[in-house]
Amino acid sequence: MSNSIKLAILGLGTVGTGVINLINDNLDELKRRSGRDIIVTEVGTRRQRDDIDTSIMQSSDLMAIAASDNVDIVIEVIGGTTLAKDVIMQAIKNGKHVVTANKALLAEHGNEIFAFAEENNVHVAYEAAVAGGIPIIKVMREALAANKIDWLAGIINGTGNFIMTEMRDKGRPFADVLEEAQELGYAEADPTFDVEGIDAAHKLALLASIAFGIPLQFDKVYCEGITGITLQDVNYAEELGYRIKHLGFAVRRDGQGNSDDAGVELR
């Protein structure tokens, strides 16, 4: 066994750069816990970066990196569901373990990706895809493995929660708070996935698959966002003693076993 674990990071935006910085800042602790040296050997980037260690190879050829003999684990942070899928499948084909936070990709193509990973005897780790700061994926898969889960619910989109909280606490209209969320970096320039509930639906599909032992079924999730919520709705709810929150909710409706998804509701 090699004394080092060699990483490739595909994508050098805010997240990819942050991953490199976290690894560099915590090298000693990572080595203590793993018993191995953790080395970033290659990064995939569209343009050369002068602020990256010169010992790290930079390339725009992501498929070549995913197949490189100088890589043990591929960390995918490019986003999207097309190129990201291609490079992950390439990495798996070449025996690389994969780490990704790409909940859209996994929700839509996870069944194929996980099956291919099992066939090639590698792992796909995706804790950061759903509430990574809690965390929840590892807890459900391991700590709760002996428990039968009948339902789960939670606020799983931070941007929507920020908007609803600001509307209630400060009496601000939706459009005003959304603009601030974009300025703060909470929401993307195109906030559709957040405010229309698509991001939450992706996460719910992943959670339900683990909780109920069913295939990923993003297309079965009933999805409704918060764009139709007005300040008047928030105020009326407050007068009646309620608060409006955007929730992901999954439940067994008929108590059927894990192998049958007919009784599972996702919304």
Residue recorded with tokens 């980037």: 45
100 and 163 share one domain: no
Residues 250 and 164 in one domain: yes
Query: Is 142 within the bounds of a domain?
Result: no
- 34 membership: H or E segment, kind and range: helix 27-34
| In-domain check, residue 155 | yes
Whether 117 and 98 have beta carbons less than 8 Å apart is answered as yes
Q: Has residue 86 been placed in a domain?
A: yes
Q: Whole-angstrom Cα distance, residue 198 to residue 174?
A: 18
Residues 203 and 124 in one domain: no
For position 13, which CATH number holds? 3.40.50.720
Is 143 a member of any domain?
A: no
Q: Which residues contact residue 113 at a Cβ distance below 8 angstroms, ignoring those fewer than 6 apart?
A: 85, 88, 89, 92, 105, 106, 124
Q: Is the domain of 209 the same as that of 175?
A: yes
The answer to whether the CB of 32 falls within 8 A of the CB of 1 is no
Does residue 245 sit in the same domain as residue 155?
yes
Mean pLDDT value of segment 168-179: 94
Instruction: Please state the rounded mean pLDDT for residues 171-184.
Output: 94
Kindly list the distances between the CA atom of residue 163 and the CA atoms of 178, 234, 241, in Å, as whole numbers in the listed order: 6, 11, 19
- Same domain for 119 and 8, yes or no, is yes
Q: Which of 74, 94, 129 is the last residue of a domain?
A: 129
74's tokens: 């591929």
Q: How far apart are CA 13 and CA 87, in angstroms?
A: 17
The whole-angstrom separation of Cα 6 and Cα 151 is: 39
Rounded CA-CA distance 199/2 in Å is: 39
Q: What is the pLDDT of residues 132-165, one digit of tens each?
A: 888 999 999 999 989 999 999 999 999 999 999 9
Q: What CATH number has the domain bearing residue 208?
A: 3.30.360.10
Q: How many domains does the chain have?
A: 2
Range of the domain at 221: 151-266
Domain boundary among the residues 96, 129, 162 is at 129
* 124 plus 166 within the same structural domain: no
140 inside domain: no
* 54-84 pLDDT per residue, tens: 889 999 999 999 999 999 999 999 999 999 9
Question: Which tens digit of pLDDT belongs to each residue from 217-259?
Answer: 999 999 999 999 999 999 999 999 999 999 999 998 765 545 4
Q: Is the peptide bond before 135 cis (omega within 30 degrees of 0)?
A: yes
Same domain, 66 and 160: no
Examine residue 29 and state whether it is found in any structural domain, yes or no: yes
CB neighbourhood size of 34 (10 A): 10
Are 72 and 163 found together in one domain? no
Tell me if 199 is assigned to some domain: yes
- Select from 97, 129, 161 the last residue of a domain: 129
CB 208 within 8 A of CB 261: no
The pTM assigned to this predicted structure is 0.89
User: Based on the domain organization, do 20 and 103 belong to the same domain?
Assistant: yes
Burial (CB count <10 Å: 0-12, 13-18, 19+), residue 219: exposed
The answer to whether position 136 is within a domain reads no
Residue numbers annotated as active site = 203
Confidence of residue 260 (pLDDT cuts 50, 70, 90): very low
Same domain for 168 and 242?
Answer: yes
Can you tell me the distance from the alpha carbon of 232 to that of 229, in angstroms, rounded to the nearest whole number? 8
Structure tokens of 132?
Answer: 């990574």
Task: Read off the amino acid at residue 10.
Answer: L
Same-domain pairing of 24 and 89: yes
